[in-house]
Amino acid sequence: MENSDMNMSTPSSSSSAPSQTPTSSAASWFSGIVRGRSASFKNAANISSTTADGEGVGGVVGPINKKRQFRGVMFKYGPNPIQVAFKTGDYKQQVIFIGGLQDGFLATEYLEPLAIALEKEHWSLVQFLFSSSYSGYGISSLKKDAIEIDQLISYLINKEESEGVVLLGHSTGCQDIVHYLRTNAACSRAVRAAILQAPVSDREYKATLPNAAAMIDLASEMISEGQASELMPREANPDAPITAYRYHSLCSYNGDDDLFSSDFNEDQLKQKLGHMSNTPTLVIFSMADEYIPEYVDKKPLVNRLCAAMGGAEKVEIEHGRHSLSNRIEEVVKGIMDFIKRDGPKGWDDPWS
């Protein structure tokens, strides 16, 4: 492990609610974490101003050194060179941030105030790189992402004595969470809750771009000819090299990545998202998301997504853009309100 200050450039701009009611437990794992704490959540602007000098709770050094400089520990969590993670705070509960396409460290602007807010509640924030980070998404898959997410959680359990994690997905990171929790992977029991921020349809957005239909046909043809792992022409995806399989997964109807599209009926959505009812879930929906086509009615869509997940909670952020860079205080408050709740959904000890 290596103690380090993460000094990065400006983050990329990539990409009252109904609730589910599993039985709660008076001796829940989450209740034991939260009960007895006196520190209250303050809004992101106030937190940033009062901790600009890096001072944390009770004078202890906090997770932010200065603007866009995170203080914490960088570590390797898996065998591949890309498998590096950065953790702020030294606590046994972690929020794991999973970014979207082209994302890596410091993917959204709300991560800085979120790290500070989590510190006050004795939670760590974990940002990590995996095979899909930055331009790697085009030659990776949800299946590979799930394997590497499981390796990260395994590291936190075995090396950091984690008592449980919350997965926070942004954009395509939401698809990673939904897919991972469907796999019932070895360490998925340690996931206490999931937060889906900007779960949008890559297919519906890609369909608004030129040549999408022709490129989908080409990807289908390549797959049928046994060339799923071969690269598509550059014009198919100018941002990064992409295989026929991943292009088809992201852009075709009912592809592996096609989880949140508005044209699915209720049965299709439940088939894709129904297993999320086993995990307390919060959907944070940007009501001015630039990656959702104008023809999509956002309010009914978010209600349908939450219903398909068995009654997931929701926070609708009016005028919020995809990465919520224009609504930082609101997204941090929504996340913290969900995390701090005193176990109403039975967030029990994962190992009992």
> Where do the domains of the chain lie?
2-19+38-134+142-199+267-340, 202-258
* pLDDT for res 122: 94
- pLDDT for residue 6: 52
Which of the two residues, 212 and 68, has the higher pLDDT score?
212
SS3 85: strand
- Residue 200 near residue 259 (C-beta atoms within 8 A): no
Is 12's pLDDT higher than 70? no
- Residue linked to tokens 């390797």: 76
Is the distance from CB of 176 to CB of 142 less than 8 angstroms? yes
Please check the confidence at residue 213 and state whether its pLDDT lies above 70: yes
Instruction: Report the percentage of the chain scoring pLDDT > 90.
Output: 76
Please state the CATH superfamily assignment of the domain spanning residues 2-19+38-134+142-199+267-340 in this structure.
Alpha/Beta hydrolase fold, catalytic domain (3.40.50.1820)
The yes-or-no verdict on residue 14 having pLDDT over 80 is no
- pLDDT of residue 81 exceeding 50, the answer is yes
Residue type, 6: M
Encode pLDDT of 146-188 as tens digits.
999 999 999 999 999 999 999 999 999 999 999 999 999 989 9
Asked whether the beta carbons of 258 and 201 are under 8 A apart, the reply is: yes
At 63, the pLDDT band (50, 70, 90 cuts) reads confident
